[in-house]
Amino acid sequence: MNDILDIFFGIVFGTEQTAGIILEILFIVGLFRILQKSGINGWWALCPFMREVKLAKCASREQEGKTYFFISLAKSALLVISNSLQLNNKEELTVLILFFSMVILTVHFISWIYMIRIFLGLVYVYDINKKWMILFSFSATRWIGALILGFSKKMPLTTPEMEHEEALRSFSNEEIIVMDKGLSVDLRKRTATDLFQTKTLLRDIKMNIQPGHMVLLLGGSGAGKTTFMNAINGYEKADAKVLINGKNVYEKYREMKYEVGYVPQQELMRGKDTVYHTLDDAALLRLPSVISSRERLNRVQDVMRIFGLSNSSTSLVEKMSGGQKKRLSIAMEYLSSPQVFILDEPDSGLDGVMARNLMNHLRAIADQGKIVIVITHTPDRVIDLFDDVIVLAKDSHKTGRLAFFGSVQEAYSFFGSTKMEEIVMSINSKEEGGKGLADSYIQQFAQLSAKNAEVQNG
């Protein structure tokens, strides 16, 4: 089909090469206007590959745009390699050219599929008939659709700027009241740059957590749980205020970095070391250098006693059970006696009894006046140990938002559920097997927070 159209336009414009240049210019002109309608700099239309990425953003198909970008780069690289092949043996050269031709054809077909998906997103955004896809499906006619869409009075139903404004409307603009004791989080935005685009990972998360509380952090895949934890401990700073007992973690990071203990899911221990040496090495890193050897020894012994590791002090790490290793990895972070303790799936791989035992240790830490924040994929078997629940949800624009923060019982009431796993299912997208109600709950909680703030302010 493309060849026939190219021949036709070649006859009209003189040569196929001239026709191709003219059609490309017409497509760029139409694309320039489409990008402008979505609030994106139209000059991106002049940049090969990147213009498709920007077009994908207009079509709310950013992931397809990124994939197309890398596929197109791969196709270009393959073309350069195939054109530079020089072999003396004609048979080998023929085989290689045939091989590269098949690979390039396959990659070209895949890139065409992704381009179709981008244009299909554009059809949805402009709310036009799907028959337009006939124009967008072929390079020889794509310019017609671009020009009509670009210069018509038809405007997109949503744009990146409109999405940003829509997100802002549901925010609570009230400042949180910073507590003298406990954890105060006022996270306005956490962004990351990916392929020349700024993506918002988290937005508008505000809360105060009281000392002595054990908090469950819930959220589906991609909701931003790990990003949120990294923002709290200062590892990945956000546009935020994070205060522990009234002190700003970001502004006083050197002083405050050991006030937040973080235990990742992966165990970072040497198998050939003993329990005691593992903790002693950790103490050298985490405790102030001014303390004496005796004080460090006493602290290591105290921590081993707290986590039930005293009888295993001479055991090699590689010989320990899964539950013991988990307790040891937690004990390493607990050496500095942090005020806030964050754990990413500490019960992963443990059976019900071992998981319960581990969570009881964490509950005991919270009861000492610490704040313990835990991610677990099996929350219902230990929910009675928690005081509060944080629910992060991925909104329709793939940004992590606060869908709820409050007590366990308040969470049940807010979501109309009796199980935490049901809450996660309700906020997960339908593509992930959930109910797709994230936006609704985010909006409801924002309104509830604003209402509560009005009451507090009189």
For the entire predicted model, the pTM comes to 0.68
Q: Which two tokens stand for residue 199?
A: 């993506």
pLDDT by residue (tens digit) across 343-390? 988 888 778 788 888 899 899 999 999 999 999 988 999 999 999 999
Domain co-membership, 154 together with 105: yes
Residue whose pair of structure tokens reads 């210069």 in the numeric block: 151
The verdict on 139 and 208 lying in the same domain is no
Q: Is residue 324 one of the residues assigned to a domain? A: yes
Q: Is the pLDDT of residue 4 over 60?
A: no
Domain assignment present for 165: no
Instruction: State how far Cα 261 lies from the chain centre.
Output: 22
Do 102 and 174 have their domain in common?
no
- Given 158, 189, 211, the domain boundary residue is 158
Q: What is the span of the domain harbouring residue 26?
A: 2-158
163 domain residue, yes or no: no
Give the per-residue SS3 of 358-395. Answer: HHHHHHHHHCCCCEEEEECCCHHHCHHHCCEEEEEEEC
Same domain, 120 and 182: no
Indicate whether 435 belongs to any domain.
yes
Residues 184 and 288 in one domain: yes
Instruction: Report the pLDDT averaged over residues 128-153.
Output: 81
9 and 98 co-located in one domain: yes
What single-letter amino acid sits at 387?
Answer: D
Residue scoring higher pLDDT (388 or 263): 388
> What's 294's domain CATH number?
3.40.50.300
Do 130 and 33 share a structural domain? Answer: yes
Q: How far is CA 236 from the centre of its chain?
A: 13
Q: Contact 278/228 with Cβ under 8 angstroms?
A: no
Same domain, yes or no: 284 and 419: yes
Query: Residue 142 falls within a domain, yes or no?
Result: yes
Decide if 301 is inside a domain: yes
Between 8 and 176, the higher pLDDT residue: 176
Asked, for residue 164, whether it belongs to a domain, the answer is no
Pair 186, 291 in one domain: yes
Sheet holding 260-263, edge to edge: 247-248, 239-244, 183-194, 197-209, 400-407, 388-394, 214-219, 371-375, 340-344, 260-263
* Residue with tokens 């909006």, as numbered in its chain: 443
Is the residue at 41 inside a domain?
A: yes
DSSP 418: S
Copy the structure tokens of residue 59: 């079509």
List CB contacts of 52: < 8 A, sequence separation 6 or more. 65, 68, 69, 72, 115, 118
The mean of the pLDDT values for the chain is 82
Structure tokens at 169: 């409307």
Q: Which of 138, 158, 178 is the last residue of a domain?
A: 158
Domain total for the chain?
A: 2
- Are residues 378 and 401 located together in one domain of the fold? yes
Q: Which range is most confident: 48-57, 63-72, 129-138, 384-393? A: 384-393
Residues 87 and 113 in one domain: yes
Three-state DSSP class for residue 136? helix
Among the three residues 158, 182, 209, which one is the final residue of a domain in this structure?
158
pLDDT of residue 458: 59
Instruction: Kindly state whether residues 364 and 233 are assigned to the same domain.
Output: yes
pLDDT band at 89 (very low <50, low <70, confident <90, very high): low
Do 67 and 194 touch, CB atoms closer than 8 A? no
Residue 209 pLDDT level (bands cut at 50, 70, 90) = very high
